[in-house]
Structure 1
Amino acid sequence: MESRFKEAEFATWVGIIVNGLLALMKGVIGWLSGSRALIADAAHSASDVAGSIAVLAGLRTAKKPPDADHPYGHGKAENVATIIVAILLIVVGVEIAISSTKVFVGEMPSAPKGIALVAIIASIIIKEVLFQYKYRLAKKINSSALLAEAWHHRSDALSSIAAFIGVFGAMVGQHFNYPILVYLDPVAGLIVSLIVIKIGFSLAKESSSIMMEQVLDPEKTKPFIRTVSKIEGVKRIDELLARTHGHYIVVDIKVGVDPNLSVEEGHRISKRVKKALLANHNHIKRVFVHINPYQTEGDLNRQERIN
């Protein structure tokens, strides 16, 4: 568990440092070259820094052990961090859209200088490397916050591609005297904003479902049911609810056992259920077992008639 958080924190610090340098580079070159698309891209990278700081805080909270106030643990701190990153993406996307749209109602912009292309190409390569690194690590350690940060990097790479097309098109338009092509730079900024907003909404939607205690799809809980069904003494699984709690899964299960068993024997069966789920499914970290007296359909019908 400790190594999981160390890997995630190291990856987050890498993101903070690299994004900070990228934002500074793109901002300065965007201003010197007169590229709105590159300035928008710099703002996107700056939001990555803020998002990474939120992720770092979330990871440090999530690794705390369960306590009296948080008996299920602090895993959802990662989901809170994910939502913060998503909101940052949406805000930055809207700001980029507003900035790019203003160009169409003002004077015709001038094409950016060639140095803008160098900065954009460097950004595309670096951000894609960061995405691949964090995406693979997020899948390996099952971290929603790190996955959100990875997609933040991918959105930055995509926005840089759009910025490249815009800047290159604007330069070509000015060189060959096609003024309309100069508008490709702000159009690229607008495309960037839509990409950023869409990714932000997707991340927010997924994490919000987890925060609202949405249970896992029945198809995903079938392996858990198969595990419990094999346990001696379990007559029937009355109910199994599993939900994601940050990077791990919490399971609430009700099992039917022989009603003539002693309390101690029923307790032993519940311990076997818990142990089997924890041992056979790595993502499950908390299990709560409720023992019910097993009754056949005939028993239930007779009891209903008596009542």
Structure 2
Amino acid sequence: MLSKFLVTNFIKDYNNISDEKVRNSYGYLGGIVGIIANILLFIVKIFVGFITNSIAVIADAVNNLSDAASSIITIIGFKLASKPADAEHPFGHGRIEYISGLIVSFMVMLVGFEFIKTSFKRIINPTNINFQLMPFLLLLVSILTKIWLSYFNKYIGKTIDSSALQASSLDALGDVFTSSCVALSLLASKWTSTPIDGYVGVLVSIFILYSGFSLTKETLDPILGEAPDPELVKKLIDGVCSYDYISGVHDIIIHNYGPGKAMASVHAEVPCDISVMKIHEIIDTAEKELSEKLNIFLVIHMDPINTNDEKVNSTKNELLKIIHNDFPIIKSIHDFRIVGDNDFKNLIFDIVIDYEHVLTPEIEEKLKKDLDNAIKTIHPHYNAIITIDRDFTSLK
């Protein structure tokens, strides 16, 4: 209820999330709420930490301070990522959002390393913990606050499809776990002199390190060029194939230039005997409509294929049967055609191999030779000219 209240009262035209300004407003709101909440939690926990002399509570407080700094960097990231395209960056500055997330993850890991050292010192040189009811109750309130903050970030992140804010939601949920452990260690100090505080501090620090490592991976993957979202790939394939005369697609490549900023290219199979002007009009329409529908910049290349030749179709079916029975490594084929006279023919086609299979030049040549020999067992006068393609999607 509070999340909806904040969105409806502080974001103008909040339903129009396809608008970049509205999307940025969601990001700013998430960042500002994160800053305010985490600074308040830092003040409460640092007070409790000094009152109780608990290193675990102080570590948890500093973790909240780093979360506030993370929110500041998130806001800066949204601001810089929204800069318009220019001559040096024709696809915009959207990847800055990933870089800001990477900075946040390094800050999180730095906090974890520092408090591992401090916690070990507390284990070696234990000190008494001063349990008091009011500071303990303040910790419980901070846990409830983090639960709400996790929900709020998840709500915002899902609304605008922001991996940065959804990661913040998971980070806040992780803080709920660590703060709960800290509260339990503080409570346990009433009945034991064992330096539980130091041990819990180590556990909290390890969890902080793990969170930082996970955030690093999540922000590095799109920068390095991760496989596109399978759901987007499926929508793209279904969308392109829904247009008249397009019978199939291949060579799908999607480049990510930041959240909501992607470029895709795809080869569409069309009949070879159709008017060039007619199929160009269909392709042009598909590019414009799908670019708007899927929020991508789409380029479609036309691949003419012979769909009416009975010999071509029967030979292709024979090839597909050979591949199905003897070459499971091959995911699909495309651009199949037959060139030559009656005495000698070339079968020209591409085969697609996914990245689960490691191919060296030697293995590739052997694969081509084995497939060519398998075809010759049926058609001795056919010569296979094969191109090996890689699948650039994660779609199975």
Q: TM-score, normalised by structure 1?
A: 0.87
Equivalent position of 1:230 in the other structure = 242
Out of 252, 259, 280, the position equivalent to 2:265 is 252
Out of 110, 121, 124, the position equivalent to 1:102 is 121
Aligned pairs for 1:33-48 (under 5 A) are 33-48=52-67
Cα RMSD (Å): 2.5
Out of 200, 207, 211, the position equivalent to 2:219 is 207
Higher-Rg structure is 2
Letter in 2 for 1:142: D
Distance 1:113 1:256 in 2: 73
Equivalent position of 1:127 in the other structure = 146
| Partners of 2:283 and 2:300 within 8 A in 1 | yes
Equivalent position of 2:298 in the other structure = 287
Aligned pairs for 1:45-124 (under 5 A) are 45-106=64-125, 108-114=126-132, 115-124=134-143
Distance 2:70 2:60 in 1: 15
How far the C-alpha of 1:68 sits from its partner, in A, is 2.5
Structure holding more helix per residue: 1
Equivalent position of 2:155 in the other structure = 136
| Partners of 2:157 and 2:165 within 8 A in 1 | yes
Distance 2:66 2:164 in 1: 15
Distance 1:142 1:219 in 2: 13
Distance 2:176 2:230 in 1: 36
Distance 1:65 1:266 in 2: 34
Letter in 1 for 2:270: V
| Partners of 2:55 and 2:122 within 8 A in 1 | no
The answer on 1:297 being equivalent to 2:336 is yes
| Partners of 1:90 and 1:196 within 8 A in 2 | yes
How far the C-alpha of 1:258 sits from its partner, in A, is 4.3
Higher relative contact order (CA 8 A, sep 6+): 1
Residues 294 and 123 (structure 1 numbering): CA distance in 2 closer, same or farther, change over 3 Å? same
Equivalent position of 1:29 in the other structure = 48
Out of 18, 30, 55, the position equivalent to 1:11 is 30
How far the C-alpha of 1:36 sits from its partner, in A, is 0.7
Q: Secondary structure at the match of 2:92?
A: coil
| Partners of 1:243 and 1:250 within 8 A in 2 | yes
Structure holding more strand per residue: 2
Q: Structure 2: give runs of 5+ residues left out of the alignment.
A: 1-18, 307-334, 340-344, 349-382, 386-396
Out of 148, 171, 182, the position equivalent to 2:167 is 148
Identical-residue share of aligned pairs (%)? 27
Q: Structure 1: give runs of 5+ residues left out of the alignment.
A: 174-178
Q: Secondary structure at the match of 2:86?
A: coil
Distance 1:278 1:238 in 2: 18
Equivalent position of 1:158 in the other structure = 177
Q: TM-score, normalised by structure 2?
A: 0.68
Letter in 1 for 2:34: G
Out of 196, 201, 204, the position equivalent to 1:189 is 201
